[in-house]
A and B are shown apart, each in its own frame.
Chain A
Amino acid sequence: MSLILALIRRDLTLAFRQGGGVGTALGFFLTVVVLLPIGLGPDQALLQRLAPGALWIALLLAVLLSADRIFQQDYEDGSLDIMAMGPMPLELVALAKAIAHWLASSLPLAVAAPLLGFLINLDPAAILPLALAMGLGSVALSLLASIGAAVTVGLRRGGLLVSLLILPLYVPVLIFGVSASTAPGAGPDIATPSLLILSAMALASLVLSPLAAAAALRSYLK
C-alpha cells in the first residue's frame, strides 16, 4: 500500500512541477464550452437541453488530451523497466498511475464542469447530479484511458491513436453519465439507476483496466 502511495505521490509531484497537463486540459475544456453557444446560437432553451451532453463530450475529449502521457515518460526513461522488476506487480503500478492521472487531470476537470455549465445555461437543478455523475464517471475515464496509454506506449505520437482506441470504450460512460446528469424529475432520490450503473462501470474498470494495461506494458517491455 505504501508503495502505491509513493508512486501516486511522485506522479502528482511530477504533474504539478512539469505543468502543462491539467492547465492545458482545463483550457481546452473551457474553450470547447465557450465555442458551443457561438456555434449553436443564443437560444437559451436549446442550450439548457444540450448542456449536460455537451459538458460530458467536452470532458471526454479533455481527459484524453493528457492520457497518452500516463506511461510514456516512465517507458522512455527506463523507470518502467525498474518498476517491472520491483516488488510491486505491474498491475498495481498501472493502477497507481491511473489513479494519479485521475487526481491530476480528470478530477479537476470534473470539478470545473459545473462552473462551466453556467456558460451554457445548465439547469441549476442539474448541477448536483452532474457533479456527482462526473466525479464517478471520471474514475472510469482515467482508468480506461490508461489501457489506451499502455497499448500505445512505445509509439511516437500515440496521442491521437489513444483517442481513437478509447473513445468507443467511453460510449457507455457517456450514455449513463448524461442520463444521470439531468435534473431529477420527481422525488429527492439522487441515486438514479443511471448513476448506479455509472458507479458499477467505475468499479469494473478499477478491476479490469489495470489487468489490461499491465498486459500491454509487459508486451512492450519484452
Chain B
Amino acid sequence: MVAFYSPFAIRYSPMQIIGQDLVCERGGRTVFHDVSFMVNRHELLQLTGPNGSGKSSLLRMIAGLNDPAAGTLNLDGGHADLTIGQQAHLIAHQEAVKLALTVAENLAFWAGFLGGGDVGNALAALDLTRLAHYPAGLLSAGQKRRLSLARLVLVPRLLWLLDEPTVGLDTASQQRLAGMMTEHLAKGGMIIAATHVALGLEPARRLDLGPRA
C-alpha cells in the first residue's frame, strides 16, 4: 500500500498526461468523441464547453472513475506503480464534507486517509482557521467549498482536477485559489480545470468540448 510518497520527488524530470481519441458514453449516449489533449508539468489546461458537453465526465475519466469507451489515457514519467487517480485530487461539485464533523476533523480524516498532511497549514491556506472547531454543517456554501479545496493543500498531489472550482467563492477566496494554483504549477504540478469563468491565471492550454464537426 502506497500511502506516503512525494509527488514532486522527481523534480526536474518531464512528465505529461496524454489523452488520445477519448470517447465517453453515458447511459448509451455518446457525450464526446475523439477528444485528445496533453498536459505537461507547470501547465494549466482549461476545459470549456456548454453544459452537458462532458467536462465533468472527462475529469472523472482522468481520475479513473469512468472508463473511456475508446481511446487511451496515459501518464508518462509519473510513479509507474500508481494510477493517475492516485496521483490526483478531484474537486467536484459534491464537497465530500461530513456535516457532523468539525472543519478540522474533516481535514484530519482526509489527511489520514490520503497519506498525511498538515491540517493547520491547509486551514490557514483557505482562511478557515477561525472556523476549525465549527461543525461543517454550520458552514455556508462558499465556506464548504473552501473546506473542499483545502484538500489540495492538505495532501500534495501531482495533478489537480478541478470542476468549476470557483463556484460559491467570494473574490478574496478566488484570489487565494488563483495563488494556490500558481504555486502548484511553479512547483511542477499539473492542473486540469473545467470552468466557465476566468480563473485569475492564464491557462497554458485550452480544450473546448463544444459541438464539433
Contact = CB atoms under 8 A, between A and B. Distances in A.
Nearest to B93: A78
Which size bracket describes the interface of B in this complex? 20 to 34
Contacts of A10: 98, 101, 109
18 contacts: A3-B3, A6-B112, A6-B113, A14-B101, A17-B101, A18-B100, A77-B95, A78-B96, A81-B63, A82-B90, A82-B114, A84-B85, A85-B90, A86-B86, A87-B3, A87-B114, A88-B113, A222-B67
A192 interface: no
Interface in B1-44: 1-3
A85 B63 contact: yes
A85 B101 contact: no
B105 A85 contact: no
B51 interface: no
B102 to A, nearest CB: 10
Contact of B100 (A2, A14, A76): A14
A24 interface: no
> How would you classify the secondary structure of chain B's contact residues: helix, strand, loop or mixed?
loop
Given A3-B3, A87-B115, A88-B1, A77 B86 contact: no
Contacts of B139: none
Task: Return the 9 tightest CB-CB contacts between A and B, nearest first.
Answer: A78-B94, A85-B85, A6-B112, A78-B96, A17-B100, A79-B96, A10-B109, A18-B100, A87-B3
A167 interface: no
Contacts of A31: none
A119 to B, nearest CB: 33
Nearest to B114: A86
A215 to B, nearest CB: 14
B94 A85 contact: no
A16 B105 CA distance: 14
B66 interface: yes
A221 interface: yes
A13 B65 contact: no
Contacts, number: 74
A174 to B, nearest CB: 34
B92 A78 contact: yes
Contacts of A79: 96, 98
A150 to B, nearest CB: 16
A85 B3 contact: no
A204 interface: no
A6 B112 CA distance: 7
A82 B96 contact: yes
Contact of B92 (A13, A17, A81): A81
B178 interface: no
B1 A77 contact: no
Contacts of A77: 94-98
Interface in B43-90: 60, 63-67, 85-86, 88, 90
Interface in A59-112: 73, 76-79, 81-88
B98 A14 contact: yes
A197 interface: no
B167 to A, nearest CB: 14
A81 B96 contact: yes
A212 interface: no
B118 to A, nearest CB: 16
Nearest to A19: B100
B134 interface: no
Contacts of A82: 90, 96, 110, 114, 151
